[in-house]
Amino acid sequence: MMIYMRRENRRGPLVLWLAGVLWLGAIFISAPLLHAADAATITYRRVFKGSNPEFIEIKIGDDGTATYDIRQLSDAPDPEPFHVDDIVRMKVFELAGELHDFEGLDLDVHRRIADLGQKTFRYEKGAEAHETHYNYTLNRPATQLALVFEGLFLQQRDLMDLEQKLKYDRLGVNDSLRQFEMDLAQQALPEPDQFLGVLDRIGAETRVVDVARQRARALAERIRVATPESATPAPAKAKP
């Protein structure tokens, strides 16, 4: 009887230890899920039939996530993750805050003007969601917010074009660099430092024509001079 009782007593600490491990595991597993559920997301969508592209959708989360989907309306949805600097992310949420996260917001001028494409802003956080649509607006924060998103679109378009040309059409690289140079000169790109990786690769690629290599090196140098050293990312690796 005494032996039986001792064995039972030894099981007590073991059971408590296992219960503690399971409890801590549940906390570590559920914490990220709760955080993800509470993350806020700002979405910008522009639909303009007959343009190229016809569909642009960019989503930016306050948890560090971001996706873009750039395509024709006949194409299947294909959102891709991409990097957005914290400064740009904070600006997006700051402007959305000025617009009260689009709750009950009417941005359209309601005048008979040309079709400029249907724009949508949407705010989501858990079960909370607000969105607004417009063709043209005079609202200053909304215009600024749209410019940020349109700049991110141009940035991803130019990046994708340079990557594609470098991989499949090296003779076309210089034309793509000219387009990027124009967007850079117009200060339309919110994160020019994101181009340093592909520009460095073009500058070092001996199979690219020399005029394009020189242009790529000059553009990379211009960006580095204008970008603080602490904000300059490491050269990006080529996509497989």
Please give the helix or strand (H or E) that residue 129 lies within, else none.
strand 128-134
Phi-psi region of 154 (alpha: psi -120 to 50; beta: other; left: phi over 0): alpha
* pLDDT reported for residue 81: 97
- Those residues whose C-beta lies under 8 Å from the C-beta of residue 207, and which sit 6 or more positions away, are 170
What does the pLDDT profile of the chain (240 residues) look like in tens digits? Answer: 444 444 445 555 554 555 554 555 544 454 454 444 579 999 999 999 999 999 999 999 999 899 999 999 999 999 999 999 999 999 999 999 999 999 999 999 999 999 999 999 999 999 999 999 999 999 999 999 999 999 999 999 999 999 999 999 999 999 999 999 999 999 999 999 999 999 999 999 999 999 999 999 999 999 999 976 544 444 444 433
* pLDDT reported for residue 19: 53
CB 60 within 8 A of CB 41: yes
Taking CA atoms, 137 is separated from 27, 47, 54, 60, in Å, by: 46, 16, 20, 22
CA distance 114 to 5: 87
Phi (first) and psi of residue 132, to 5 degrees: -145, 150
* pLDDT reported for residue 137: 97
Query: Which residue ranges make up each domain of the chain?
Result: 39-231
Angle at the Cα of 229 from the Cα atoms of 225 and 235, rounded to 5 degrees: 90
pTM for the structure as a whole: 0.79
Angle at the Cα of 121 from the Cα atoms of 116 and 123, rounded to 5 degrees: 175
Cis peptide before 53 (omega within 30 of 0): yes
Order of all β-strands in the sheet with 80-81: 80-81, 66-71, 55-61, 40-47, 118-125, 128-134
Phi-psi region of 55 (alpha: psi -120 to 50; beta: other; left: phi over 0): beta
CA distance 129 to 173: 42
Q: Crossing angle of helices 210-226/173-185, nearest 10°?
A: 30
